[in-house]
Amino acid sequence: MKYKSQKVAYWFFALSMLLLVLQITYGFIMGFARIGMDGLHEFIPFNTARAVHTNLLVVWLLSGFMGAAYYIIPEEAQRELVSVKLAYVQLISLAAVGVAAIVGYHFNWWEGRKFLEIPRQLDYLVVLNVLLFLALILLTLFKGKRKTTTALVLTMGLLFAALLYIPGMLPFDSQVTDSFFRWWVVHLWVEGVWELIMGGILAFLLIKLTGVDREVIEKWLYVIVGLTFLSGVLGTGHHYYYIGVNKIWLIVGGIFSALEPLAFLAMALFAVNMYRKGEKKHPNKIALFWTLGAAIVSFVGAGLLGFAHTLPQTNLYTHGTLVTAMHGHLAFWGAYAMIVLAIISYSLPNMTGRKFYDGVRGRVAFWTANIGMIGMTMAFGVAGVAQVYLERKFGMEFMAVQKEISIHFVVLIICASLFAVGILTYIYDFYKHGRPTDEALETVESTYL
Amino acid sequence: MLSKQQARAFFLGGTLVTFLIFIGLTIYSFSDGNDQTNYENITEQVVRGKVIWEENNCMGCHTILGEGAYYAPELTKVIERRGEGYVKAVLMTPVPWAPNDRKMVAYGFSEEEAMDVIAFFNWIGEIDLNGFDRIVSPLAKDKQLTNN
């Protein structure tokens, strides 16, 4: 850690960890409901659990991204954050809005639009919160001694993510238009601007962990985010095949979605090659695991498994089935959850001064969580494919099919338990690092860039 | 070999061009003659139905136009499949509807509210879904086969 204000990041990461535990808890509630154990139905019906599960994901990832920005931007701009106090105000208000939204979901207070369930009144508070965050980051960046590509790409991602929230707040009478512009937020976030954020964090980590020249890493960063946008923006079309808009999207979405895995492949090859090229290896092996893991698992989860159902001919049968849940879980895990866990693993020893660089706990957490998540993905995949054939090909009733496939949810719960053990181990390791301290200033960083 | 400036130009240029094409296609697909969203048939009742649909997060269990949570049936062609009477009963019942043991929240809607939701489903059922309607509803599929 080079600047005292970087410590703010710790508390954003701590909030992330807390929300992640809650997200997993609600995931279990849904998993058990699917095998008929729905004792909580009266208090937490499936739609509440589902809204809480997906919104917590978004909030803990955003909190992780914000923490990453508070850690990375001072170091890249070579100055302290413009205001640490306001950063804490932003943290507390983010947590308050998040908690209000989640409590509200238990009392039927929501918008009922997939992924964007937050009620309109709270939307405005989210906007205020994000504006405060952006102001702090942008001011720090522009007052800083240098403006690196890594910092610019990360900031651009955060800025566009905020701008793209607006189409989701427009009111529409038509379900079709509503859905159309909802994907401007959701798709262009996860397959667009969030990848700028991911790319920015990945570049920062690779510079620190491999010792490869910044110019080389940042040049390839541009190429990768360029490929992401080239395929991802028009790839939005894969959400428009069967929701009631023109057939032109079948062609456009089909072609550009097929290109999307290439961007993820490029990212995976980039990360692995930089690691191979690097001569000055950082001793923080756990951070390296998560960093390379993020690049590789995002290629499998977002790239390959996404492509598995984005061709219009396939999607005609898989649209609206559990096949989507299969892709969704590994994609979010690989691309976003793992990169947040990577930056936490890297920055935590630097903020606290405790160098658990290659501990058993860290390795157990990495492998258990990953094996658990891959198992979950497979369970969803088998259930989804069976659902497609039984329901869509053989015309069986929805609930009859659900009974047939419920065994795969038993497997899902077993794998999810393994995953949860991995995450709890990670969090225990987080806790064992202790609190951030000014004594940790410059202890590690001086030797590495 | 590619320079950093060229890489940046590729990123900025590529993003700008694809985004402009994306906006162009959006305008194209909602323009007269290309719009197939069934917008002209939206009534006030349909809009009221959509509001009820959203306020109760029906998408948190069901799917509609293939979007939702995969826990409860797809409702795109539900009126054609089940008939208005059945759907009305599900919406108005004061005890949780639980076919095959999977419970639905008992919303206990008034008759007027139930009819609004049914109007919304009827409107959804008339949208041209590029063939998805035939896949999603066995009844609609049979109808298509008979027509052919």
**Tens of each residue's pLDDT in chain B, 148 residues:** 789 999 999 999 999 999 999 999 999 999 999 999 999 999 999 999 999 999 999 999 999 999 999 999 999 999 998 999 999 999 999 998 998 889 999 999 999 999 999 999 999 999 999 999 888 876 555 555 555 4
As a CATH number, domain A4-448 is 1.20.210.10
pTM exceeds 0.90 for this model: yes
Residue A216: closest CA among chain B residues belongs to which residue?
B4
Chain B partners of A218 at a C-beta cutoff of 8 Å? 4
Q: Residue B57 and residue A112: Cβ atoms within 8 Å?
A: yes
**ipTM value:** 0.94
Q: How far is CA A160 from CA A127, A197, A444, B139, in A?
A: 13, 10, 33, 44
Q: Does B29 touch chain A (CB under 8 A)?
A: yes
* Conformation bin of residue A278: beta by default, left when phi > 0, alpha when psi is -120 to 50: beta
| Rounded CA separation A188/A223 (Å) | 18
Per-window interface: B 103-122 vs A, CB < 8 A:
103, 105, 120
Instruction: Select from B19, B20, B22 the residue whose CB has the most chain A CBs within 10 Å, as the one to mutate to test that interface.
Output: B22
**What is the reported pLDDT for A179?**
96
Burial of A145 (0-12, 13-18, 19+ CB in 10 A): exposed
Chain A partners of B19 at a C-beta cutoff of 8 Å? 229, 233
Q: CB of B90 within 8 A of CB of A79?
A: no
Where are chain A's structural domains?
4-448
Q: CB of B42 within 8 A of CB of A20?
A: no
Q: Which of B4, B50, B100 sits opposite A403 (nearest CB)?
A: B100
Residue A55: closest CA among chain B residues belongs to which residue?
B60
Q: Does A163 touch chain B (CB under 8 A)?
A: no
CA angle B114, B117, B121 (to 5 degrees): 135
| Rounded CA separation A45/A30 (Å) | 9
- What is the CA B53 to chain-centroid distance, rounded? 11
Q: Residue B14 and residue A226: Cβ atoms within 8 Å?
A: yes
In angstroms, the separation between the Cα of residue A295 and the nearest Cα of chain B is 20
Q: CB of B138 within 8 A of CB of B77?
A: no
A359: which residues sit within 8 A by CB, 6+ positions away?
Answer: A286, A429
Q: CB of A46 within 8 A of CB of B71?
A: yes
Chain A partners of B47 at a C-beta cutoff of 8 Å? 173
User: Looking up tokens 């509803």, which residue turns up?
Assistant: B137
| Rounded CA separation A254/A235 (Å) | 7
Q: Residue B73 and residue A398: Cβ atoms within 8 Å?
A: yes
Task: Classify B63 as helix, strand or coil.
Answer: strand
Instruction: Select from B46, B86, B132 the residue whose CB has the most chain A CBs within 10 Å, as the one to mutate to test that interface.
Output: B132
B34: tokens are 């290309």
Residue A174: closest CA among chain B residues belongs to which residue?
B39
Per-residue confidence in pLDDT tens, chain A, 449 aa: 899 999 999 999 999 999 999 999 999 999 999 999 999 999 999 999 999 999 999 999 999 999 999 999 999 999 999 999 999 999 999 999 999 999 999 999 999 999 999 998 999 999 999 999 999 999 999 999 999 999 999 999 999 999 999 999 999 999 999 999 999 999 999 999 999 999 999 999 999 999 999 999 999 999 999 999 999 999 999 999 999 999 999 999 999 999 999 999 999 999 999 999 998 789 999 999 999 999 999 999 999 999 999 999 999 999 999 999 999 999 999 999 999 999 999 999 999 999 999 999 999 999 999 999 999 999 999 999 999 999 999 989 999 999 999 999 999 999 999 999 999 999 999 999 999 999 998 754 444 44
Q: Residue A321 and residue B70: Cβ atoms within 8 Å?
A: yes
Q: Does A39 touch chain B (CB under 8 A)?
A: no
Q: CB of A41 within 8 A of CB of A33?
A: yes
